[in-house]
Structure 1
């Protein structure tokens, strides 16, 4: 079986490739990279891995011929003058064209997000909604893996705790819980769906949410950081009204607004908090938050 990951450079792509290469069914794996210098050494030396140059922004550069299954990841865009939803549509249409040109592709797996079912009110998640709309019929079998909040998103908290003993949280109030998933579990889930190519799906597109073993609060993050660091950790809350200002310290104004709206969508009053249209199917990863924090902390 031959599987292609496009693009292959994101951490989720790397985790999927790692899971595929470790699988006893011995699939061959192709990774598509804009810059071949970014291919990890562990993949370069593997006999069942091939790295090829290509970009989802350039349809003519994508060659998926010979692939039985394809994992697609919609890349984030942090450029102020570009429309992130229009960009998601462009790259998704390019991938769809490449999939349909390669007659061998039986299954497309899209790494998506919780909340991708909504066409408003979710900020940056709207890129996933657009990708799903374009790719829903790209292959005979289509799977949407709607991931919950990445545990690895707490990496900045690890840095401020290491340096100053505190972290910022935008997950408020402190007892508000949110499903969270580890990147390694995302890779495992995507690999499983890719390797299931040819197995009948309940529907196509087949859609499910991917959660970690339990939902977590900001206090759970604090406890994990304290356990790993061995010191007392302070939480500094960012109120809902201050989200735009908080993200503006990191992103250009329009991108900051998209992230603020996404964040607000899972707080009280937000569309994901109320969730009038839940996905229904949920699968669960095994990795605990404290183990991800430990890995990021280097403990």
Structure 2
């Protein structure tokens, strides 16, 4: 079986490739990289892995010929551009490459919780756009809507040496589901390897959740557990979100992230989630395990 991952550089793409290369069925894997120097050494050394220079923004660089299945990850953009238009462009490019190949039986799309909504979710709207474009891209389409990445807390490593971290997940005792990247990768790999099997619906859409919900207070406890020290939790209130993100991102990006965060707060589209994804699957990795690894890698 031959599987293509485009793009391959995101951490979720790397996790999926890692899981595929470890699978006893021995699939071959092709990964697309804008910068070929970003190919991890562990993949370069595997004879079943092929790194290809290509860019989902450039349709002419994508050749999925011979692929049985394709994994697509909508790349985030941190420039002052229309991110939804960008998501439309790259999704159309991937769809065209799938059609040109003629061999692709299944497309697996990594999406996000909340992608079923066409308004009020900020950055998540890029995932909605990808789902709309790619829903009929291949004979079999699987959409994996992942919950909040545990690895998002990596941004806290910058302030932990000073004994504190910021959180935009408020109120601080409100639980939010979180999933580890390794569990996302394993799930994506499993869906790719199941190509040719029967789907309960097409496109088949499910939500991928971690083993439990965590509040910001739970994150604080986990950080204290893995660091062995007291860590202060500094909550970013709703009225502080715009300024908080503006200090890190260009204006349009800050606005998208502010709107996305507000969608989870009281009154937001995702606070009540009136149209939840019906099917759910679960990972097994706990938050403390991920935080410990992030600290060890820092």
- 1:158, CA displacement in angstroms? 2.7
Instruction: Verify the 8 A CA contact 1:211 1:284 in the aligned structure 2.
Output: yes
Q: SS state of the match for residue 242, structure 1?
A: helix
Is structure 2 residue 210 aligned with structure 1 residue 241? no
Counterpart position of 1:144: 143
Q: SS state of the match for residue 204, structure 1?
A: coil
Counterpart position of 1:106: 105
- 1:209, CA displacement in angstroms? 0.5
After superposition, residues 100-249 of structure 1 pair within 5 angstroms as 100-161=99-160, 163-249=161-247
Q: Deviations over 1:175-231 (max 9, x none)?
A: 111110000000000000000000010011100001100011001100000001100
Counterpart position of 1:267: 265
Q: Which runs of no fewer than 5 residues in structure 1 stay unpaired?
A: none
**In 1, Cα distance between the equivalents of 2:217 and 2:241?**
19
Q: SS state of the match for residue 32, structure 2?
A: strand
Q: Which runs of no fewer than 5 residues in structure 2 stay unpaired?
A: none
Aligned length: 297
After superposition, residues 70-89 of structure 1 pair within 5 angstroms as 70-80=70-80, 82-89=81-88
- 1:242, CA displacement in angstroms? 1.1
**In 1, Cα distance between the equivalents of 2:282 and 2:40?**
28
Instruction: Verify the 8 A CA contact 1:55 1:62 in the aligned structure 2.
Output: yes
Is structure 2 residue 283 aligned with structure 1 residue 285? yes
Moved >2 Å (runs of 4+):
none
**In 1, Cα distance between the equivalents of 2:288 and 2:225?**
8
Q: Deviations over 1:245-283 (max 9, x none)?
A: 100010011110100000111111111111000011110
**In 2, Cα distance between the equivalents of 1:241 and 1:100?**
46
Instruction: Verify the 8 A CA contact 1:158 1:225 in the aligned structure 2.
Output: no
Counterpart position of 2:22: 22
Q: SS state of the match for residue 167, structure 1?
A: strand
Give the TM-score normalised by structure 1.
Answer: 0.98
**In 2, Cα distance between the equivalents of 1:34 and 1:298?**
28
Q: SS state of the match for residue 298, structure 1?
A: helix
Instruction: Verify the 8 A CA contact 1:116 1:129 in the aligned structure 2.
Output: yes
Pick the aligned partner of 2:253 from 252, 255, 267. 255
**In 1, Cα distance between the equivalents of 2:224 and 2:265?**
25
Q: SS state of the match for residue 65, structure 1?
A: coil
Q: Deviations over 1:124-167 (max 9, x none)?
A: 00000000000000000000000000000001223311x20100
**In 1, Cα distance between the equivalents of 2:29 and 2:171?**
43
**In 1, Cα distance between the equivalents of 2:74 and 2:240?**
28
After superposition, residues 34-113 of structure 1 pair within 5 angstroms as 34-80=34-80, 82-113=81-112
**In 1, Cα distance between the equivalents of 2:37 and 2:231?**
39
Instruction: Verify the 8 A CA contact 1:158 1:293 in the aligned structure 2.
Output: no
Counterpart position of 2:6: 6
Q: What CA RMSD, in Å, does the superposition of the two structures yield over aligned residues?
A: 0.8
